[in-house]
Structure 1
């Protein structure tokens, strides 16, 4: 008869998974920012450069934002004309299209932590 001994450190495993998920959330938000920057209407590039990611690692929540006085107006103005490939709703339209990639980025980080 063989015996095996198992030591389970649940707190350390949970902490590692949470840290990995936070890393994945940040990577996902940065991916969304990158894709949205490719769609931001361009004039001088100020709006594009103002894009930023913020992450609450405790709550595993991220935000992508653009910080210019006119960011909201440009985002919402569906009647404005833009260069090819650039459009209003440059941020809102990206997340539904990129959600599977964001999920894959988070899952990959969690899998990596479980090795």
Structure 2
């Protein structure tokens, strides 16, 4: 199940090749942050699911994913029991709760450059 977040940026000066590169790098840092939070929640038995987490980015599009045959089922099955601190919705929860952090991480490099 995919979840999308879209934002608009109104700033002509920043929307140069360098600005897009900096925003993309910030997006990757933000997604790495979400991945770290998700790894703290992912159901844990052997650690295979936790280790399968990846961030991918293509320009200003990015994704956080877990790649095991049971990743989706573990994410969606709310009735399964997990160790304390671990849960289903291990990716959805940090994607929602860390949205503002991701946007701030994207803005850091741009802000520094624009203040330049």
Q: Same fold (TM over 0.5)?
A: yes
Matched, 1:52 2:54: yes
Residues 64, 12 of structure 1: alpha-carbon distance in 2 compared, 3 angstrom cutoff: closer
How far off is 1:104 after superposition? 0.5
CA root-mean-square deviation: 1.7
- Corresponding residue number in structure 2 for 1:5: none
8 Å contact from structure 1 (residues 16, 113) kept in 2? no
- Corresponding residue number in structure 1 for 2:77: 77
Count of matched residue pairs? 104
8 Å contact from structure 2 (residues 14, 20) kept in 1? no
**Pairwise mapping of residues 103-114 of structure 1 onto structure 2 (< 5 A)?**
103-114=103-114
In structure 2, the gaps of 5 or more residues are 1-11
Residues 30, 113 of structure 1: alpha-carbon distance in 2 compared, 3 angstrom cutoff: same
- Corresponding residue number in structure 1 for 2:101: 101
8 Å contact from structure 2 (residues 41, 86) kept in 1? yes
How far off is 1:111 after superposition? 1.2
In structure 1, the gaps of 5 or more residues are 1-9
- Corresponding residue number in structure 2 for 1:34: 36
